[in-house]
Amino acid sequence: METFVDIITRYRQAFLSGLRVTVELALIIWCSGVLFGSVIGIFAAKFKKAIGIPARMCSFVLSGIPVLAYLFWAHYPMQAILGTVINPFYTAAVVLSTINIFAVSDLIGSQLLDFPEQYNVAAKVCGLSARTTILKIQLPIILRQVIPALLPLQVIMLQSTLFASLISVEEIFRVAQRVNSVEYKPVHIYTALALLFLLVCLPVNGFAIWLRRRFTRNISET
């Protein structure tokens, strides 16, 4: 009896190619989200009216509408408007990165706004410089607060790359669909897909566990 391992082995080139596209897409989404999201989050906390409120509104709208809708809106009308063919990978990367950027900025911004003022006050009266206060006080405390929420968000973004298949990005889900149309063994094929996703998530989760151990600790006082 054929197992999902046999199917993976037989279509390994296709699966590897799809996996590569998924990982590339995820890396773009993660890096841009964490980098630009942090920057926007910091500015959103600093300039609440000018940046904070619009950023929060964007985050609300982006998280309230299914990813699929954005992908279709951004891909097909954009090609018609520009009169050119856009590689769907770029559309997916831009759309999913934008969603991640605003989700991360919302997270970082709210953590910055909720930062306990007493720790800044203590830093002031102890004569700490602004640089030391940021690097040694604010950043470590904020990291501890943000990491537990940030990592699951990035795993959700990884899973959202599945939607890219609907605008014809040749990522792993699309590969699985194609293989299924030939083999017609959905349980085997989607089990294989799940296994590959777990393989990608494994190092991510390992990194998350390491970060949690390294940075998070219950710091609440009783």
In the complex, which residues of this chain contact another protein (CB under 8 A)?
118-119, 121-129, 132, 136-137, 140-141, 144, 217-222
Q: How far is the CB of 140 from another protein (least distance, A)?
A: 5
Nearer CB in complex with another protein: 190/215: 215
- φ/ψ (deg, to 5) at 201: -70, -25
Nearer CB in complex with another protein: 64/127: 127
Q: How far is the CB of 142 from another protein (least distance, A)?
A: 10
Q: How far is the CB of 221 from another protein (least distance, A)?
A: 5
Kind and range of the H or E run holding 56: helix 53-64
In angstroms, the CA 14 to CA 55 distance is: 39
In angstroms, the CA 196 to CA 26 distance is: 14
Nearer CB in complex with another protein: 72/115: 115
Nearer CB in complex with another protein: 82/221: 221
Q: How far is the CB of 120 from another protein (least distance, A)?
A: 9
Closest CA to 172 of 191, 202, 197: 197
In angstroms, the CA 9 to CA 19 distance is: 14
Cβ neighbours of residue 92 closer than 8 Å, sequence gap 6 or more: 25, 71, 161, 163, 164, 167, 169
Question: What is the full DSSP assignment across 140-196?
Answer: HHHHHHHHHHHHHHHHHHHHHGGGGGGGT---HHHHHHHHHHHH--HHHHHHHHHHH
Nearer CB in complex with another protein: 80/221: 221
Q: How far is the CB of 53 from another protein (least distance, A)?
A: 23
Q: How far is the CB of 125 from another protein (least distance, A)?
A: 5
Nearer CB in complex with another protein: 54/140: 140
Cβ neighbours of residue 215 closer than 8 Å, sequence gap 6 or more: 140, 143, 144, 147
